[in-house]
Chain A
Amino acid sequence: MKLLALSAIPILLIAADVTTQRLATSQDDPASWLMYGKNYGAWRFSSLKQMDTGNIARLTPQWIFQAAGAAPIEATPLVFDGLMFFTGSANHAYALDLATGKALWHYGRPVPKGVQGCCGSVNRGFAALGGKLFKVNFEAKLVALDSKNGEPLWETTVDDFNAGFSTTAAPLVVKNQVIVGIAGAEFGTRGFIDSYDADTGKRLWRFHTVPAPGEPGGDTWTNDAWKRGGGSTWITGSYDPELNLIYWGTGNPGPDMNGDVRPGDNLYTCSMVALDADTGQLKWHYQFTPHDVHDWDATEDPVLVDLTIGGKKVKALIQANRNGFAYALDRTNGKVLIAKPYTKVTWTSGMDKTGRPVIVPGQEPSEQGTVSCPGLGGGHNWQPTSYSPLTGLFYFGTTDGCQIYYKTGQQYVKGLWYQLSTTEPVPKSTGAGSVIAIDPSTGETKWRFETVGTPSGGMLTTAGGLLFTGDRHGFFIAFDARTGKPLWKFQAGGPIVGGPVSYSFQGKQYVAVAAGSSVIAFAIPAK
């Protein structure tokens, strides 16, 4: 790739391809942001430290790109070789010049009539390998684009949108595979995780998150409920190259609110699954919420960190689960090491010796309505989390509160809503939330910044001791990552939903984030 960068003397940038080696060592390449979670462990930690707690007050917008018709932007942009690549909603995508924020190419495809999704035609970003960018389109398609010009190189159908499938997650590149998750558990679908050949788009393997009768776990379903069993995989997973395991969180069973039609634990919904990266074979699973009836997907970022727990070093997987608990699992075998609530929880009295939650009776949805905590969106929803090796803390936004859960009956009709009810706010309650930092080796909350309404943005930490996030009111905020003190803020003019990124360009550190339908790049100006 060649790009003439703006400066007094035009500079010819000669780009190197994004190789598998570059992806494996992406944490050592702070100038770039090569994958959804920054590294395979999904840390979202930048080693750049030009910006720090002492100078962050001078952070200033450098350019704003308005992506008309692409709101809300939920994507985490990729940055490499002088360009920023990001996706908007409704099948839009752009490549921006890092020097000016000008679009060098735009990709767009109309969303076909009849595609359904729970939450709009959102998209959470690209994956990259070689000269290709990979993204999903809303209509359950995977496309490979030429990163030079945005031209489609191949396109493959992941599944049938008429049956209720859709795709929104950023793919994950592992070796020469493009790993893709699916959405659609509100429409009576059966979820999966797919692998596609990066060169051709041919499907290499599929792991069904809901087993068929006769398969391991198939006995956790009754009758033919498994065919509509849900278990979407709508947030990008992580990867441990040493163990050669892909980790991916799975969503709610279907139908969401009425478990009467699906007695049993309903594996592998609301679970973490560890898959052999070459074959897609299940190596282990842990189900956070057996027989979920509150829509508490376990799709939140699976973050891979090595911790010392009880004096013992462990390869851990940490997650802020929607069910209100922060977990640390042993990522070699799925055993629960830490499970501690970070918000009010009423559905369980805690974990038994095996790590299975002990259910509190009477918390399930009812025709009359049942107050249960957390609410439908969970204690933490999908928004990206961050782990800082500098502070040793794990950062995420929380929604603190309860909701009234209702259930109803409904016959399944292919491709139609099959949620079987919903929730209402508890009267007189107001939306409350916080940005929190927890010690992942104990689950203890180290600091909490209470917010007006629930948090909306993803997290980014940096070696300058900073935590960046945004809120639904449009503020982009920098905190002292150790203390939770806000050090800087900027009113960006639109809700901040996706994950911020940091990169360097021509020797200067930048941080960029999407707000509403815009992408904004910030830097500290020279004195």
Chain B
Amino acid sequence: MMHTGCTVLLGFLLASAANAENPLQNDPHAADVGRGVFRIYCSPCHGIRGQGARGPDLTQAISGSGKSDDDLFRIVSEGSPGTEMPGFTGPLDEENRWRTVSYLRSIAGQRPAPLAGNPAAGRDLYWGKAGCAACHRINSKGGRQGPDLSRIGSARSASYLRESVLTPSADITPGYNAIVVVQKDGKKITGVERGYDNFTAQLMDSKEEFHSFDKAAVASMKLESRSLMPDTYGKLLSASELDNLLAYLSSLGRPEAGK
């Protein structure tokens, strides 16, 4: 920590730090090595080429976002609060985090085209006809059976969200698989996983009540790689309604959403 009596100088230094450029920007190997780091630590969520999966498409999300290298470094280091993006200060030293930033800059292409839909109309659909709030929460309102969507627009690409709405079981957020338990009296209980191991299962049913089971005390219990969300939204919603809903979901958690 630098100590100085000159407030003006300190302010300048802080401003410079906030807009710090990548110290490895002239290193010819930085992006190359950063790609190796990315493939190990980042590709599980962002895809092997950064084109997005559970995490956003970074080839599109960075350009035009106004994020400086320092912003990207901070996200890589500390994660993105409110999303599943963790910080990598532990596993990656400072140089490797900067190399990751170098690689991200090297793959950043054009900013994605604005979505066709109308977010305001999508909001009405979400809270009305589509019934999404029965299972999902946004800013502390709604159900708990599905993932909280308060910041889903900053955590998922639009194409991923489209797939999630139309084919909910295509890729399931960890912790939201279905558990089906058949008790010894034949009674079947289905719910969202809260825990599942070699000997026990914990689930939340559609009334948001918790159940805990001992494998030895039931007829069967199974974790199923499927979502409990209906897969009928392709039929329930028209193409334009779907665009509106996706425009609303994509706006959640984005700073420009309020504009």
A and B together in one complex: yes
Q: Mark A446-463, 1 if CB is under 8 A from B, else 0.
A: 000001100000000000
Contacts of A421 in B (CB 8 A): 36, 39
B48–A424 CB distance below 8 A: yes
Stretch at the interface among B139-147, B150-158, B191-199, B242-250: B191-199
B198–A120 CB distance below 8 A: no
Contacts of A473 in B (CB 8 A): 197-198
Closest to A116 in B: B93
* Chain A: minimal CB distance from B197 (Å): 4
List A457-486 residues whose CB lies under 8 Å from chain B.
471, 473-475, 477, 486
B197–A471 CB distance below 8 A: yes
Is the C-beta of B59 less than 8 angstroms from some C-beta in chain A? no
Q: B225's contact among A120, A417, A430, by CB below 8 Å, is which?
A: A430
A422–B40 CB distance below 8 A: yes
A417–B96 CB distance below 8 A: yes
Q: How far is the CA of A471 from the CA of B197 in the complex (A)?
A: 9
B199–A113 CB distance below 8 A: no
Q: How far is the CA of A114 from the CA of B36 in the complex (A)?
A: 18
Stretch at the interface among B27-35, B69-77, B228-236: B27-35
Contacts of B40 in A (CB 8 A): 417, 419, 422
Contacts of A427 in B (CB 8 A): 171
Contacts of A489 in B (CB 8 A): 199
Instruction: Using CB atoms and an 8 Å cutoff, list the residues of chain B in contact with chain A.
Output: 29, 32-33, 35-37, 39-40, 43-44, 48, 91, 93, 96, 171, 196-199, 223, 225
Q: How far is the CA of A159 from the CA of B250 in the complex (A)?
A: 51
- Of the candidates B32, B36, B48, B197, the one having the most CB atoms from chain A within 10 angstroms of its own CB is B36
Give 11 A-B contacts (CB < 8 Å), ordered by A residue.
Answer: A113-B93, A116-B93, A410-B36, A416-B29, A421-B36, A422-B48, A424-B44, A452-B196, A473-B198, A477-B198, A486-B199
Q: How far is the CA of A418 from the CA of B40 in the complex (A)?
A: 11
* Chain A: minimal CB distance from B248 (Å): 28
A410–B32 CB distance below 8 A: yes
Closest to B38 in A: A422
Contacts of B197 in A (CB 8 A): 452, 471, 473-475
List A430-457 residues whose CB lies under 8 Å from chain B.
430, 451-452
Q: B32's contact among A411, A471, A475, A486, by CB below 8 Å, is which?
A: A411
- Of the candidates B35, B48, B93, B223, the one having the most CB atoms from chain A within 10 angstroms of its own CB is B48
A471–B93 CB distance below 8 A: no
Is the C-beta of A369 less than 8 angstroms from some C-beta in chain B? yes
Closest to A474 in B: B197
Closest to B197 in A: A473
Closest to B94 in A: A113
Size band of the A side of the interface?
20 to 34
| Closest CB pairs A-B (n = 5) | A473-B197, A422-B39, A417-B36, A422-B40, A416-B33
Closest to B40 in A: A422
Contacts of B93 in A (CB 8 A): 113-114, 116
B198–A451 CB distance below 8 A: yes
Q: A408's contact among B29, B36, B199, by CB below 8 Å, is which?
A: B36
A406–B48 CB distance below 8 A: yes
Contacts of B36 in A (CB 8 A): 408, 410, 416-421
Is the C-beta of A526 less than 8 angstroms from some C-beta in chain B? no
* Chain A: minimal CB distance from B130 (Å): 26
Closest to A489 in B: B199
Contacts of A8 in B (CB 8 A): none
B33–A410 CB distance below 8 A: yes
* Chain B: minimal CB distance from A387 (Å): 23
Q: How far is the CA of A417 from the CA of B96 in the complex (A)?
A: 9
B198–A475 CB distance below 8 A: yes
When A120-B91, A452-B197, A473-B198 are in contact, do A408 and B225 touch as well, CB less than 8 Å? Answer: no
Given contacts A418-B36, A421-B36, A430-B225, 4 further A-B contacts (CB under 8 A): A369-B48, A419-B40, A424-B44, A475-B199
Contacts of B33 in A (CB 8 A): 410, 413, 416-417
* Chain B: minimal CB distance from A107 (Å): 23
Q: How far is the CA of A473 from the CA of B225 in the complex (A)?
A: 19
* Chain A: minimal CB distance from B220 (Å): 14
Is the C-beta of A313 less than 8 angstroms from some C-beta in chain B? no
Contacts of A477 in B (CB 8 A): 198
Contacts of B35 in A (CB 8 A): 408, 410
Is the C-beta of A428 less than 8 angstroms from some C-beta in chain B? yes
Closest to A416 in B: B33
Contacts of A471 in B (CB 8 A): 197-198
* Chain A: minimal CB distance from B42 (Å): 10
Q: A417's contact among B37, B48, B198, B199, by CB below 8 Å, is which?
A: B37
Q: How far is the CA of A475 from the CA of B198 in the complex (A)?
A: 8
Contacts of A113 in B (CB 8 A): 93
Q: How far is the CA of A120 from the CA of B96 in the complex (A)?
A: 15
Contacts of A430 in B (CB 8 A): 223, 225
A452–B48 CB distance below 8 A: no
Contacts of A413 in B (CB 8 A): 29, 33
Closest to B225 in A: A430
* Chain B: minimal CB distance from A228 (Å): 14
Contacts of B223 in A (CB 8 A): 430, 452
* Chain B: minimal CB distance from A383 (Å): 16
Q: How far is the CA of A477 from the CA of B215 in the complex (A)?
A: 15
Q: Mark A120-157, 1 if CB is under 8 A from B, else 0.
A: 10000000000000000000000000000000000000
B32–A428 CB distance below 8 A: no
When A114-B93, A417-B33, A424-B48 are in contact, do A406 and B39 touch as well, CB less than 8 Å? Answer: yes
Contacts of A420 in B (CB 8 A): 36
Q: How far is the CA of A428 from the CA of B169 in the complex (A)?
A: 9
Q: How far is the CA of A114 from the CA of B225 in the complex (A)?
A: 41
* Chain A: minimal CB distance from B55 (Å): 13
Contacts of B44 in A (CB 8 A): 424
Closest to B47 in A: A424
B43–A422 CB distance below 8 A: yes
Q: How far is the CA of A477 from the CA of B198 in the complex (A)?
A: 10
Closest to A186 in B: B40
B225–A428 CB distance below 8 A: yes
Q: How far is the CA of A369 from the CA of B47 in the complex (A)?
A: 12
